[in-house]
Chain A
Amino acid sequence: MTETTKARKTREPVPHIAAALALGDDALVLSHRLGEWAGHAPVLEEEVALANIALDLLGQARVLLSMAGDEDELAYLREERAFRNVQLVEQPNGDFAHTIARQLYFSTYQRLLYAHLAAGDGEFAGLAAKAVKEVAYHQDHAEQWTLRLGDGTEVSHERMRRACQALWRFTGEMFQPVEGLDVDGEGIRAVWLESVSAVLRQATLDVPEGPQSGAWSAGAGRQGLHTEPFGRMLAEMQHLHRSHPGASW
């Protein structure tokens, strides 16, 4: 970074709104999906763990969305096409294996991203420094469960294999450039792939087909193109807020 851009940054601390929305929406949407587990988790300890992760993500979302505007207006009054989250996080919970595969893929990415942002001096450094510690726990949680399910019983192995396979095509999108975010997507992708592959192998699972084979579709959530289940999710999330225009809660 040159001296002039550094100076300009300190003079005008205008956050990168597009980037704040992208990262904020990722956290908001995944938190919402995890919140759907409440009362349905396979074991009481996981009620606590999944809620913990959902709460961390919601906290991150609130900080990020507030950098871009009013958190509630952004969460509750935007249309589906205005959301900038990757498609991975909006995917329905499915069975516990699907939720864990989604967690593994996303938390590994988020940890790498936040570690990078925390090391810089941009608008997101403060948030990232705090969030990277939370996300380290999310990643550990996902890795532990990937091992248990992959290397548990025949049934769990098969379920985990299917989940990793089904969600794989949503992973490429995480490494696309995000407007306003100074990160090396390709660099993060390489480390991500190495890290996820190592966990999957340890869990006796095959690494799903990679980009080389052309099976790694990128998705376009960052451009506001989402998958069908997302509209329903938003309808549920926004309904009450929208039913009382201008009310405060």
Chain B
Amino acid sequence: MKVVAKRPRALMDKPTHYCPGCTHGITHRLVAEVIDEMDIREKTIGVAPVGCAVLAYEYFDCDFQQAAHGRAPAVATGIKRVLPENFVFTYQGDGDLASIGTAEIVHAAMRGENITTIFINNAIYGMTGGQMAPTTMIGQKTTTSPYGRDSKSAGEPIRVVEMLSTFSRAAYLARVGLFNNKEIKKAKKAIRKAFETQKAGQGFSLVELLSTCPTNWGMNPAEALDWVESNMVPYYPLGEYKTPEGGEDR
């Protein structure tokens, strides 16, 4: 029998608590594969958010710190300043990063903190049961936008990658999707580039992954992937927004 998908060394051999069809699982896997391929597992320190990925430290086989809601970039800054030779990454949801932790991510990017952020944009607060996130789409129904997000009172979704693009010390910024195999391959390449940016000491790197929350979106996994492609991608264009070489690929 051919082994199609061997468990990456950087992942623990245990089932996760993620819902069926949730893209948190695949993203863990992609990050772990990159860590393996770069052979940096024993030099890597992860920072877990508050959100559905709060237990990330249970799944990755590397040192980890669990951060307060939104503060992962500050915690990662503390770690990286003490251990500049190590690899430090944060793994954050959209409520964590783009709402309560907006100041922390903006300032980490502004300083060019030499860390990597894996940003899970699923347009909702997953863990707390489906409330509106700053990234929730206009018209999207959530428990706290029951009539659909109305831009007049709730504003328009934050485009994090675009916002951070203004900082010269934010070296690598990309947005990727996970809605088919081609996009998953691209996502992995982007994650690899982000970690390579850190390795080269070039400054802040972030990959935004358009993700699913089938449970709180009230969809099955296939519908959720379709929804990302048809509803999120038009508002959140995919591509590399900044690379250390200075190029853009969108």
Pair from one complex = no
Interface residues of A (CB under 8 A from B): none
Interface residues of B (CB under 8 A from A): none
